[in-house]
Amino acid sequence: MKPHLQDQHPRTTRRGFLRTAAALTAAPGFALTAPAFANLAKNDRPRIGCIGLGSMGTGDAADHARFGDVVAVCDVDSLRREKAKHDQVIGKGRADSYADYRRVLDRKDVDVVSIVTPDHWHVKIAIEALLAGKHVFCQKPLTLTLEENRLIRAACKKHPDRVFVVGTQQRSDRDRFLRAVNMVQQGLLGRITKVTAGIDGSPTGGPFTPESPPENLNWNAWLGPAPLVDFMTRRCHYEFRWWYEYSGGKFTDWGAHHVDIALWALGLNKEGAGPVAVDGSDARHPLPMKDGYPTVDNCYNTSHDFNVISKFHQGPELHLTSRGDNGILFEGEEGRLFVNRGKITGTPIKENWDAGKFGDDQLRELYGNKPFEGHKENFYRCIREGGLPVSDVYSHVQAMSVCHLSAIAARLGRQIAWDPKSEQITGDQQAASMMARVARPGFEVQSS
231: which DSSP letter? B
pLDDT at 353: 54
What percent of the chain lies above the pLDDT cut of 70? 88
- Quote the CA–CA distance of 127 and 134 in Å, as a whole number: 10
pLDDT at 359: 64
- Quote the CA–CA distance of 431 and 416 in Å, as a whole number: 7
Task: Print pLDDT tens along the chain (448 aa).
Answer: 333 332 232 333 344 433 433 443 333 322 222 333 433 344 469 999 999 999 999 999 999 999 999 999 999 999 999 999 999 999 999 999 999 999 999 999 999 999 999 999 999 999 999 999 999 999 999 999 999 999 999 999 999 999 999 999 999 999 899 999 999 998 999 999 999 999 999 999 999 999 999 999 999 999 999 999 999 999 999 999 999 999 999 999 999 999 999 999 999 999 999 999 999 999 999 999 999 999 999 999 999 999 999 999 988 999 999 999 999 999 999 999 999 999 999 987 755 554 455 567 778 888 999 999 999 999 999 999 999 999 999 999 999 999 999 999 999 999 999 999 999 999 999 999 999 999 999 999 987 6
Q: How far is CA 39 from the centre of its chain?
A: 31
Q: Please, how many CA atoms are within 13 Å of residue 97, restricted to the half-sphere of its CB?
A: 19
Q: Is the Cα dihedral 402, 416, 286, 218 positive or negative?
A: positive
pLDDT at 13: 39
- Quote the CA–CA distance of 50 and 60 in Å, as a whole number: 9
Q: Is the peptide bond before 46 cis (omega within 30 degrees of 0)?
A: no
CATH number belonging to domain 14-169: 3.40.50.720
Please check whether residue 218 is in contact with residue 99, taking contact to mean a CB–CB distance below 8 angstroms.
yes
373-414 pLDDT, tens digit each: 999 999 999 999 999 999 999 999 999 999 999 999 999 999
pLDDT at 41: 41
One-letter identity of residue 148 = E
- Quote the CA–CA distance of 325 and 125 in Å, as a whole number: 35
Query: Would you call 105 helix, strand, or coil by DSSP?
Result: helix
- Quote the CA–CA distance of 341 and 327 in Å, as a whole number: 8
**pTM of model > 0.75:** yes
Backbone torsions φ then ψ of 198, nearest 5 degrees: -85, 120
Fold: same for 14-169 and 171-368+393-432: no
Give the CATH fold of the 171-368+393-432 domain: Dihydrodipicolinate Reductase; domain 2 (3.30.360)
Task: Give 295's contacts (C-beta < 8 A, 6+ positions apart).
Answer: 287, 288, 289
One-letter identity of residue 126 = A
- Quote the CA–CA distance of 125 and 290 in Å, as a whole number: 32
pLDDT at 446: 82
Backbone torsions φ then ψ of 221, nearest 5 degrees: -70, -35
The full set of domain ranges for the chain reads 14-169, 171-368+393-432
